[in-house]
């Protein structure tokens, strides 16, 4: 009986908007890292993107609570939108700390992590769009593998970045600042992998 009732399609639109917004945040972060000028204005733009993400998260959870038939399990809806929001929160935190710590210029490793985030969130956006047609299981799971690969690259960059801090000649205060920033940036790539894990679970349960 329930299979004959049309499932609420608005969730897919909300997820797609959230994923596109996450990718926009990563692109703006990358732009900042590669052109470290007018930092306060760029940080404010990223904060606005983060606020949009918060609103989309709120709207999705509200929609879930008001909907009888959802496209997939409610716990998966909640987990997916929250992990997407986490990516933006970590990007925003990393940028806020660059401003707070009065960073003069980004390191090469920070720029590399920014690039990885752009690549990972681009694939996240593709994977989210693919959820509209879960019959194409192999294609969606292939995108998830790509996200895992980007996360592994982010982890590798962070480990080398942390090791290089102690041979860079930086003073102790700057080492602490960059260690903090690197960890926030790499954590954002971790949340991309979390999104991939949720998508994999959704596909395997619903395909």
Tokens of 63: 């929609």
- Of the chain, the percentage scoring pLDDT greater than 90 comes to 85
Statement: residue 32 has pLDDT above 70: yes
Give 195's pLDDT tier (boundaries 50, 70, 90). very high
pLDDT at 6: 47
The answer, yes or no, to whether residue 170 has pLDDT greater than 90, is no
Proportion of the chain above pLDDT 70, given as a percent: 96
Q: How far apart are CA 95 and CA 92, in angstroms?
A: 5
Element (DSSP H or E) covering residue 39: helix 39-66
Q: Are 2 and 69 in contact (CB under 8 A)?
A: yes
At 106, give phi and psi (nearest 5°).
-70, 155
Is pLDDT of 7 > 70?
Answer: no
Say whether pLDDT at 202 is over 70. Answer: yes
Give the per-residue pLDDT at 168.
80
- How high is the pLDDT of residue 67? 87
Domain 7-206 sits in CATH 1.20.58.220: yes
Is residue 2 pLDDT above 50, yes or no?
A: no
Q: Is 139 helix (H, G, I), strand (E, B) or coil?
A: helix
| pLDDT tens track for 118-166 | 999 999 999 999 998 888 889 999 999 999 999 999 999 999 999 999 8
What digits encode the pLDDT tens for the residues 46-95? 999 999 999 999 999 999 998 888 888 999 999 999 999 999 999 999 99
SS (H, E, C) 120-133: HHHHHHHHHHHCCC
Chain-wide mean pLDDT for the chain? 93
pLDDT at 9: 82
**What are the extents of the domains in the chain?**
7-206
Residue from 196, 192, 181, 146 nearest 25 by CA = 192
**Predicted pLDDT at 31:** 97
The CA-to-CA distance between both ends of the chain, in Å, stands at 19
What confidence score (pLDDT) does residue 110 get? 97
Backbone angles phi, psi at 129, to 5 degrees: -60, -35
Selection from 73, 85, 68, 69 nearest residue 14 by Cα: 85
């Amino acid at each position: 009986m329930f299979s004959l009732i049309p499932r609420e399609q608005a969730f897919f639109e909300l997820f797609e908007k959230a994923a596109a917004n996450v990718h926009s945040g990563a692109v703006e972060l990358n732009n900042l890292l590669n052109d470290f000028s007018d930092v306060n204005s760029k940080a404010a733009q990223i904060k606005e993107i983060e606020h949009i993400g918060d609103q989309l998260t709120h709207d999705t959870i509200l929609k879930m609570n008001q909907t009888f038939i959802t496209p997939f399990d409610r716990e998966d809806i909640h987990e997916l939108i929250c992990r997407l929001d986490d990516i933006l929160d970590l990007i925003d935190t990393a940028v806020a700390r660059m401003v707070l710590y009065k960073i003069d210029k980004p390191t090469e490793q920070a720029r590399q992590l920014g690039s990885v985030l752009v690549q990972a969130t681009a694939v996240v956006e593709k994977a989210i769009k693919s959820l509209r047609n879960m019959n194409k299981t192999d294609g969606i799971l292939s995108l998830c593998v790509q996200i895992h690969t980007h996360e592994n690259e982010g982890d590798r960059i962070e480990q080398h970045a942390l090791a290089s801090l102690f041979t860079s000649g930086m003073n102790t205060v700057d080492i602490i600042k960059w260690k903090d920033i690197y960890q926030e940036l790499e954590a954002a790539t971790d949340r991309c992998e979390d999104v991939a894990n949720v998508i994999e679970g959704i596909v395997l349960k619903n395909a």
